[in-house]
Structure 1
């Protein structure tokens, strides 16, 4: 234990003693307070004196009392130790120490922690370094583009890797990236991509066509790869020359360029074994450090599209999940000017059922009863949350795309909306179903809002005799550690990126989405076949029309019960320019830059920013 922690422990044991007050006490009593020997107690007291924290006048002889005077406030010693641990990235120890302190003192320390985040600009001998620090509460599991299912991990992958094709959300079209151009035959069964010259991987080698072939061979030849169905139309990849590659398909696929713009299609080098937490890509940032408490990405200076402005990005692991948002957002902008960016998340929150497990949820009447109990109108109204909006479907597309595409609400939900509560009808459906009163388990993602949703839902279930137990859990464990089996119902959400059509194909074919993990072999086959047919349409409007019909079928079967969409608010100092929110509701680091304040100190200045990473 550090000497400062001994001081804090003793000071809290003797909190009735004021600073500069003489305390008459024996060595034995002090040793008992710190659970150490008297010899060690003497050594500790000498250290206190060396630091100027206490005055100590020992008295020899059994029973004689020595004089102790505390000279330094415990709050100052605690703050110094806390900062010392933070700068050493010893987050767990910092939290453990702060948790032992009284609430008022703990709050002061945690406020200091909040000041660590945002963007820090430092002028040094080597020039100016701009570092963005982001807190996060869920440990990263993998940055293998073919495996990751968490959008926080997707944020890292976006910056570390590139893809052959980039999707421009504003223009709603695919544009060149690692591939400078591409073309296909009339049937959409052969696609040829021409690669950019001189693109470097982070380990120094120039990217070549063999890397593209290797990237997709590792997907299509591995029966257990979660992306195999998503790229199932690929028969093989041919090398034409060092800068040209051809995809030969089993069937027509006019969405291939769109699918190749997904994170799953990030290009990896053939000559380096994939390290899932320290991967190598061609992106504007490379991972330089990663352990249990800190992930560091540094700018890749020879990035083929030009050097990014932010030099370093740090992700600090906060051990207590409930602290992340409150610490960073609370009072973050109390003294400064800010800009607020409101972002509507594509996708939404929904209920689905674990079709891998036997039970009454295989009965359509039962699922329809749950749909009525999970009344999105009443749930959203009862929560009174301005960032929640009732949703009848996950698909929300722009007005200009809606012509002859969006069906009526009745066609999708099968409900007329005449009985909003639906409790009577739900009870009737429950009686007609295979449900016989047995307890059922509902898994819900950890989080204040979703847990509140399920508390509301549980009361409605109780009112009609549906016996459920709500269990909160971490989606990381659910997806990566196969913890689905005990649950009949899953309450979760799906976050799409800017390419909604591609995101839907991913949701229905990528093996690590929670929705697809919950489906049985029959429904996985149905979804794979439907998506295989959808990508054969050349016109995007027709593809979207079929995707909406597919979602309508899933809602009619009550396999997806959409509840609400939600918005997030990012806030940042006005000095941060070109702050644009891209896929998964996260800022695009490739565009962000800083207009340094003219009155900023020559050495260091901070710019607050709140990024809701999870």
Structure 2
């Protein structure tokens, strides 16, 4: 351990003692605090004095205490040590040092991490190694493709695994991946896939049809698997040879190839016990380390679609309460303007209700009162210039907009945006009338809000509107990881969160209504889950793609009309990167396409010019 680490540990032990204040102690007591011998403690004290960090006036004799004075502030020594670790590319040790410090000091040190993210290109004995470092502020709970629900987890799954089919967002169609081709019978009840030859798993074995069979039988035979409803039409799976697999379905499913492009459909090897934190796939990157603070992906040189350019991807877990996006982005590009990539997020922010809990949210009049209070345009007017726009659907291309909510019996008539006249007073009057007709009895309700400054600011505005009509709401901040995997909002009544789709909007909606680990379905009761599942089974049996999308949008409109889904706004991400990073393209879930990303170094670049900043927004 470095002498600076000893000083930091000792200074934190006596945090109640001010700098330049006398502390009466003994070498024996100090040695106990540092868990070392008295002989080593004397050596350490000499080093402290060599650095002018302390004054030490030793006293001899039984019962006599020496005088210790700390001369240098804890932050000064910690920052110097932190900077040396960063300069030595020892990020993990720097992180551990910062994590030990009090909150205020940790925040000051973590500012120095911003220069470490982005892409580093280093020349060593093994040649040139390009490493992309990405910050993340939520821990990974699982990397099992059938369980993963957070966008960061799904982003890792996308790099570790492949699927039979991949969706081309630019052409808006499914294309071959692990399967070179597929076909179905006219009824859409049998689908046969023909596999690519010679595809290797990360552990060295060749992909076979039995691996595909294993992957999907693992899902459909497990009644508790959260993605089982997504593949609920599968009756049996047949393999004819090593490269041919057939799915026989209970019902027609003309969206089956699209389902095969879902992250949930990632193919696993049958000869390895699935490990939710250390998975094995066929993807362009293999997982080589998964530590609570650091996940490492190394390039898979034998990838069947060609080796990726970036050699290593490191995902660093940063303290949730500390380092925010603004800190990472601040002064990231001191030497000029970065290239910016705009990404319109598919999905959006919405409110729903905990339908598993008894309460006024079971009453449609109450839910519609909340719907009036969460007026999209009025929220945007309250927070101008935030890069958001009001949304009335979670599908980006279909942000239809109601102009007047006329209450006729129990229905709300929704019209087109051309005649929109936002009126705050009118929406509050409607909300108050609906609240009076509801079963709400004046109790204080709990509103679960996904962690984040913007989300919490939204809900402070919402709570103020609630108070104006006598609805009492208290905000409960929480993180989506705990909500999905540990039922964090089980005791709450309202839920304010967001959904991020990949670029396949139709599949995104279908997944939201059938994959049990989406926050929306976590909040739904069994009755609504069954109804959504049945309706989605009917929709995938529609042969025409346009009609299918229309049916899914009608289902979404019904949820809006029932005031179970209250879209609030959509948003745009801006990725910024150094001009030397080329082919920076944002794909599903807001992640860059790592297989396309490459570095254009100047021919005369000095060896030390090896850092290429990149800002990847955190959801």
The normalised TM-score by structure 2 is: 0.89
- Is the counterpart of residue 245 in structure 1 residue 250 in structure 2? no
Q: Deviations over 1:550-573 (max 9, x none)?
A: 111111111111110011111110
Change in Cα spacing, 1:523 to 1:198, as seen in structure 2 (3 Å) is: same
Q: Who is 2:423 aligned against?
A: 420
Q: Who is 2:127 aligned against?
A: 127
Q: Who is 2:203 aligned against?
A: 203
1:23-38, aligned counterparts within 5 Å? 28=25
Q: Who is 1:526 aligned against?
A: 531
Q: Who is 2:333 aligned against?
A: 333
- Is the counterpart of residue 585 in structure 1 residue 590 in structure 2? yes
Offset at 1:79? 2.0
Range with greater deviation from structure 2 (340-349 or 600-609): 600-609
Offset at 1:548? 1.2
Aligned residues of 1:254 and 1:537 also touching (Cα < 8 A): yes
The 3-state SS of whatever aligns with 2:288 is: strand
Change in Cα spacing, 1:532 to 1:410, as seen in structure 2 (3 Å) is: farther
Q: Distance in 2 between matches of 1:164 and 1:597?
A: 39
Structure 1 residues not aligned, in runs of 5+: 18-22
Q: Who is 1:89 aligned against?
A: 92
Q: Who is 2:408 aligned against?
A: none
Q: Who is 1:183 aligned against?
A: 183
Offset at 1:415? 5.0
Q: Who is 2:43 aligned against?
A: 46
Aligned residues of 1:342 and 1:569 also touching (Cα < 8 A): yes
- Is the counterpart of residue 485 in structure 1 residue 490 in structure 2? yes
Range with greater deviation from structure 2 (499-508 or 2-11): 2-11
1:271-286, aligned counterparts within 5 Å? 271-286=271-286
Q: Distance in 1 between matches of 2:333 and 2:29?
A: 45
Offset at 1:13? 7.9
Q: Deviations over 1:346-366 (max 9, x none)?
A: 111111111111111111111
Aligned residues of 1:82 and 1:94 also touching (Cα < 8 A): no
Offset at 1:36? 5.5
Q: Deviations over 1:218-252 (max 9, x none)?
A: 11111111111111111111101110111111111
Q: Distance in 1 between matches of 2:472 and 2:583?
A: 51
Q: Distance in 2 between matches of 1:13 and 1:485?
A: 41
Q: Distance in 1 between matches of 2:539 and 2:103?
A: 58
Offset at 1:320? 3.5
Change in Cα spacing, 1:71 to 1:362, as seen in structure 2 (3 Å) is: closer
Change in Cα spacing, 1:307 to 1:270, as seen in structure 2 (3 Å) is: same
The 3-state SS of whatever aligns with 2:132 is: strand
Aligned residues of 1:136 and 1:324 also touching (Cα < 8 A): no
Q: Distance in 2 between matches of 1:460 and 1:27?
A: 58
Offset at 1:544? 1.0
- Is the counterpart of residue 566 in structure 1 residue 571 in structure 2? yes
Aligned residues of 1:353 and 1:488 also touching (Cα < 8 A): yes
1:592-607, aligned counterparts within 5 Å? 592-602=597-607, 605-607=610-612
Aligned residues of 1:441 and 1:487 also touching (Cα < 8 A): yes
Q: Distance in 2 between matches of 1:356 and 1:87?
A: 47
Change in Cα spacing, 1:488 to 1:66, as seen in structure 2 (3 Å) is: closer
Q: Deviations over 1:1-55 (max 9, x none)?
A: 86314434559888765xxxxx9x7874899899959x97885453254474138
Q: Identify the match of residue 507 of structure 1 among 512, 524, 532.
A: 512
Offset at 1:88? 6.3
Aligned residues of 2:403 and 2:421 also touching (Cα < 8 A): no
Q: Distance in 2 between matches of 1:170 and 1:26?
A: 69
Q: Distance in 2 between matches of 1:56 and 1:395?
A: 66
Q: Who is 2:618 aligned against?
A: 613
Q: Who is 1:20 aligned against?
A: none
Q: Identify the match of residue 444 of structure 2 among 425, 439, 442.
A: 439
Q: Who is 1:296 aligned against?
A: 296
Q: Distance in 1 between matches of 2:179 and 2:149?
A: 25
Change in Cα spacing, 1:125 to 1:459, as seen in structure 2 (3 Å) is: same
Offset at 1:319? 2.4
Q: Who is 1:365 aligned against?
A: 365
Aligned residues of 1:10 and 1:33 also touching (Cα < 8 A): no
Aligned residues of 2:191 and 2:246 also touching (Cα < 8 A): yes
The 3-state SS of whatever aligns with 2:231 is: coil
Aligned residues of 1:3 and 1:44 also touching (Cα < 8 A): no
Q: Deviations over 1:354-402 (max 9, x none)?
A: 111111111111111000111111111111233110111212227xxx9
Range with greater deviation from structure 2 (132-141 or 382-391): 382-391
Q: Distance in 1 between matches of 2:314 and 2:320?
A: 18
Q: Distance in 1 between matches of 2:84 and 2:237?
A: 53
Change in Cα spacing, 1:586 to 1:69, as seen in structure 2 (3 Å) is: closer
Q: Who is 2:163 aligned against?
A: 163
1:188-267, aligned counterparts within 5 Å? 188-267=188-267
Q: Deviations over 1:441-460 (max 9, x none)?
A: 11110100111111111111
Offset at 1:315? 0.9
Range with greater deviation from structure 2 (604-613 or 270-279): 604-613
Range with greater deviation from structure 2 (334-343 or 366-375): 334-343
Structure 2 residues not aligned, in runs of 5+: 406-410
Change in Cα spacing, 1:190 to 1:437, as seen in structure 2 (3 Å) is: same
Cα RMSD after superposing both structures = 3.1
Aligned residues of 1:443 and 1:471 also touching (Cα < 8 A): yes
- Number of residue pairs the alignment of both structures matches: 599
Q: Distance in 1 between matches of 2:60 and 2:383?
A: 68
Aligned residues of 1:53 and 1:72 also touching (Cα < 8 A): no
Aligned residues of 1:4 and 1:78 also touching (Cα < 8 A): no
Q: Who is 1:552 aligned against?
A: 557
Range with greater deviation from structure 2 (426-435 or 27-36): 27-36
Q: Who is 1:309 aligned against?
A: 309
Range with greater deviation from structure 2 (521-530 or 584-593): 521-530
Offset at 1:507? 0.5
Offset at 1:335? 2.5
Offset at 1:430? 0.6
Offset at 1:69? 10
1:451-466, aligned counterparts within 5 Å? 451-466=456-471
